[in-house]
């Protein structure tokens, strides 16, 4: 007898800003397939990453825990880059043990010592295989003329891009997985639109630089903000860049997102061709966002602006989601996705998991969390702890070794004015500090101790 549980297709891209979707209101960006996915499912407006960094965020999804709980604090090769202890409950192994067939295409970026096969995947196509394929097709190597700021990849057509190759491999894997009697979990994790955006034509030229308006936060002077933000600009040698210099970089980033959209459309068409659409839950999301010129900064690191902590999240769940629904509840996307995958598969959620299934939200019960949190620990420029709490109006960022940050998102959605030092907002500041301490107590955050507790609760912070 066939297993009637739904199939699952998870598309997890890298560094896609939540505001860079047509469905989320971007004035220029053309993303018809992702917009169509949102129109047939639920679009989550307030999905937040538990940590705005690639490897830790992906471990949050696999292990259903905060970074300081599973222990992966930074990317591999950095000062704090360590894998999680292997063997703890992982959602992928739980799915495999419950009878799901698992397939993975793309960048793994979970465990440097253990590959997808050891996490339950029977099909695994590493993204690195693309380069050999590209050479075999007779295409020249990808240029790095633009360094981390990107360039046009003029050696290939869009159909030979790494994204198109990944979509091809995903479509092939879906064909194999659909032949069995068991449900499947297919995971496609392309590196794009992570910088450098090396984009083939016509996508590289799709958005003319002169047509792209600056981000609302671009004129940020960083006055009254932590020193490390100014240092981030200097480290990248972009501290004096004008918008005319940024606009081509942003244009390629937007073009790569449109290329992602095209390839997502091809994968969704393949689901339809295999007769799988009505019994497959489709999830599109990103591990975190990208500064991409916002606040005059690039990449991520040492900040908790919505540009990087807020992510796109679309869930099409036939029979559950009301088509075209928009959910405004806060979602901790990686942690909640881990719990949701268990819910879809009918698996008990392990006690160690910290998230909650989005099924009630998909069904229209829009009464979720009142606030949301995120954590950060540092990266290639050194260790640097941060914790964030935000509600519908206010955001507080605790920087234990630098100035704190407080933003009124109603009056200042671009997060330009740091209000943490102003006496007029001391009540909001203390309320959010107290709420942050509650959350750190609930989650067992090891940074909370006698010294830091006093700093937060007794006003010992400058």
Q: Burial code of 161-177, b = ≥16 C-beta within 10 A, e = fewer?
A: bbbbbbbbbbbebbeeb
Lowest mean pLDDT among 72-86, 105-119, 268-282, 294-308: 72-86
pLDDT of residue 2: 65
Residues 139-195: tens digit of each pLDDT: 999 887 778 999 999 999 999 999 999 999 999 999 999 998 899 999 999 999 999
Domain that holds residue 434: 391-462
Under the banding of pLDDT at 50, 70 and 90, the label for residue 1 is very low
Euclidean distance between the first and final Cα of the chain, in Å? 66
**Average per-residue pLDDT in the chain?**
94
In terms of domains, do 251 and 312 share one? yes
In terms of domains, do 300 and 404 share one? no
Number of domains in the chain: 2
pLDDT of residue 412: 97
Residues 186-207: tens digit of each pLDDT: 999 999 999 999 999 999 999 9
Mean pLDDT of 220-235: 95
Supply the DSSP symbol for 326.
E
Chosen domain end from 315, 337, 369: 369
Asked whether residue 346 carries a pLDDT value surpassing 70, the answer given is yes
In a domain, 339, yes or no: yes
Lowest mean pLDDT among 79-83, 331-335, 358-362, 381-385: 79-83
Q: What CATH number does the domain containing 151 carry?
A: 3.40.720.10
For 87, half-sphere exposure in the C-beta direction (CA atoms, 13 angstrom radius) is 1
In terms of domains, do 248 and 335 share one? yes
- Taking each helix axis as running N to C, give the angle between helix 129-136 and helix 162-177, from 0 to 180 degrees, rounded to the nearest 10: 110
Residues 388-420: tens digit of each pLDDT: 999 999 999 999 999 999 999 999 999 999 999
Cα distance between residue 105 and residue 186, in whole Å: 8
């Amino acid at each position: 007898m066939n297993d009637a549980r739904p199939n699952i297709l998870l598309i997890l891209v890298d560094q896609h800003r939540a505001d860079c979707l047509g469905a989320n209101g971007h004035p220029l960006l053309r993303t018809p397939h992702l917009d169509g996915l949102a129109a047939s499912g639920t679009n989550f407006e307030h999905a937040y990453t538990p940590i705005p960094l690639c490897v830790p965020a992906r471990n949050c999804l696999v292990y259903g825990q905060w970074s300081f709980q599973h222990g992966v604090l930074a990317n591999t090769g950095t000062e704090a880059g360590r894998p999680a202890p292997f063997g703890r409950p992982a959602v992928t192994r739980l799915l495999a043990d419950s009878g799901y067939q698992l397939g993975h295409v793309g960048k793994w970026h979970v465990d440097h010592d253990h590959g997808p096969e050891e996490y339950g995947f029977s099909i695994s196509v590493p993204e690195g295989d693309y380069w050999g394929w590209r050479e075999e097709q007779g295409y020249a190597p990808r240029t790095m003329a633009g360094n981390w700021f990107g360039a046009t990849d003029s050696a290939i057509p869009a159909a030979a891009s790494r994204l198109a190759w990944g979509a091809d491999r995903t479509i092939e894997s879906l064909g194999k997985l659909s032949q069995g009697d068991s449900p499947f979990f297919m995971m496609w994790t392309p590196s794009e639109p992570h910088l450098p955006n090396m984009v083939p034509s016509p996508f590289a030229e799709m958005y003319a630089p002169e047509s792209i308006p600056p981000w609302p936060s671009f004129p940020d002077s960083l006055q009254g903000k932590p020193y490390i933000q100014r240092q981030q600009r200097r480290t990248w040698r972009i501290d004096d860049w004008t918008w005319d210099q940024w606009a081509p970089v942003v244009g390629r980033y937007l073009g790569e997102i449109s290329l992602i959209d095209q390839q997502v459309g091809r994968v969704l068409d393949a689901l339809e061709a295999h007769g799988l659409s009505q019994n497959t839950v489709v999830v599109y999301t990103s591990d975190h966002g990208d500064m991409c010129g916002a606040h005059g900064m690039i990449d991520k690191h040492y900040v908790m602006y919505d540009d990087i902590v807020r992510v796109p999240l679309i869930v099409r769940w036939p029979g559950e989601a009301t088509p075209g629904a928009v959910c405004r509840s806060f979602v901790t996307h990686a942690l909640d996705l881990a719990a949701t995958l268990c819910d879809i598969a009918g698996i008990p959620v392990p006690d160690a998991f910290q998230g909650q299934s989005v099924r009630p939200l998909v069904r229209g019960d829009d009464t979720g969390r009142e606030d949301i949190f995120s954590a950060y620990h540092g990266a290639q420029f050194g260790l640097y702890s941060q914790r964030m709490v935000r509600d519908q109006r206010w955001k507080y960022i605790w920087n234990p070794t630098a100035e704190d940050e407080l933003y009124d998102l109603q009056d200042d959605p671009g997060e330009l004015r740091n209000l943490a030092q102003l006496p007029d907002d001391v009540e909001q500041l203390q309320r959010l500090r107290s709420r942050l301490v509650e959350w750190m107590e609930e989650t067992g955050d090891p940074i909370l101790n006698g010294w830091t507790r006093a700093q937060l609760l007794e006003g010992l912070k400058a």
